[in-house]
Amino acid sequence: VRELAPEGVDAVLDFVGDGAVGQSLPLLRRPGRVASIADGQAALDAGGQYVWVRPSSADLTTLAALADAGRLTVHVEQALPLAQAAEAWRLSQSGRTRGKIVLTV
């Protein structure tokens, strides 16, 4: 990250937990610009925010309408048949994909 942003990053978003907040704090230009859905205590301790995500049928309906209108797109990194679910898991765990990994049936 330092190679890409030697001066630091504007914000840290933690979707992993497992100490990611603590590891990311030295990369911030300014303290407190951290949000986590996985480690609320670490985010709060760092002066950031804990974001709890709850599914909402109204929000999902709105997102579906945006997608239908072509105003929302989702990048699919790779689509694999269900029989290759183990490979999809391996790709997901590698942390090197950009976008979604889709299993087709």
Interval 8-52: pLDDT, tens:
999 998 888 888 899 999 999 988 899 988 888 898 999 988 887
**Residue with tokens 């790779």, as numbered in its chain:** 78
Distance CA 65, CA 10 (A): 32
Residue 23 structure tokens = 């590891």
Which of 36, 27, 22, 21 shows the shortest CA–CA distance to 8? 27
Burial environment of residue 75 by CB neighbours within 10 A (0 to 12, 13 to 18, 19 or more)? exposed
pLDDT at 96: 85
Average pLDDT score over the chain: 89
Report the candidate in 53, 18, 48, 51 with the shortest Cα–Cα distance to residue 34.
48
Work out the percent of the chain whose per-residue pLDDT is above 70: 100
Is 38 in contact with 14 (CB distance < 8 Å)? yes
Does 54 score more than 80 pLDDT?
no
